[in-house]
Structure 1
Amino acid sequence: TSVRLAQRARIVLLAADGIQNKDIAEQLDIGRVQVARWRERYVQSRLAGIERDLPRGAPPMKVDAARLVELTTRSTP
């Protein structure tokens, strides 16, 4: 079991005991936002929600290639 998954499981178990996010965060020495994030992921997807890491970085951008070509060939930089 990974350390990350064990920590997420602790978050869920402490939440199930009725402990508030701020108290869980203090007990596990992590941020309240992190606690809230993993609690929410557990609510949405159960165990599968806490097994996977969250994607990092900005979401992928869609590029309209035709519009990009039009913009770059019809105007000066």
Structure 2
Amino acid sequence: MKAGLVQRARTILMAADGAPNSRIAEAVGVSVPTVLAWRGRYQERGMVGLEDEGRSGGPREIDRMKIIAATLTPPPASLALTLAKSQAKDNFKHAALRPSLSRPRIPRSRWCSNPTLPTWRA
């Protein structure tokens, strides 16, 4: 059985037991308007009303094999090289424009002037 059909059947069984719509919605994991819609469909058409209805619009025209082939095909070598060069240039520009994001430079004199270090390490 499909999960959606089981969910709808639980809704109808809980309603038959006298549970309020808000409690049914919470227990089944749907909204109150959805519970009301399923109850209405069951009253009108019985168990057939709980089955999935057809979706609107035409059928999908997606060729999954074309998508998989396009995903697995590597980009042309000329394009990959161009992207790498342009990305490197952009990264360099951004680092130059925002020095606060780059690593701060610590003067050598500051870390070498520690008096607790032996002289051969200074």
- Please give the range of the TM-score, normalised by the shorter of the 2 chains: 0.5 to 0.7
Determine the C-alpha separation between the residues in 2 that align with 1:12 and 1:28. Answer: 11
Q: What residue number does 1:29 align with?
A: 29
1:46 equivalenced with 2:46 (yes/no): yes
Q: Which amino acid aligns with 2:20?
A: Q
Q: What residue number does 2:85 align with?
A: none
Shift in Å at residue 53 of structure 1?
A: 2.6
Q: Gaps (5+ residues) in structure 1?
A: 58-77
When Rg is computed on C-alpha atoms for both structures, the one with the higher figure is 2
Q: Gaps (5+ residues) in structure 2?
A: 58-122
Give SS of 2:43's match: helix
Determine the C-alpha separation between the residues in 2 that align with 1:40 and 1:54. Answer: 18
Shift in Å at residue 34 of structure 1?
A: 0.5
Determine the C-alpha separation between the residues in 1 that align with 2:28 and 2:10. Answer: 8
Q: Which amino acid aligns with 1:6?
A: V
Superposition pairs of residues 9-24 of structure 1, within 5 angstroms: 9-24=9-24
Determine the C-alpha separation between the residues in 2 that align with 1:40 and 1:21. Answer: 12
1:2 equivalenced with 2:2 (yes/no): yes
RMSD of Structure 2 on Structure 1 (CA): 1.6
Relative contact order, higher structure (CA 8 A, sep 6+): 1
Give SS of 2:42's match: helix
Percent identity at matched positions? 39
Q: Which amino acid aligns with 1:18?
A: G
- TM-score, normalised relative to structure 1: 0.67
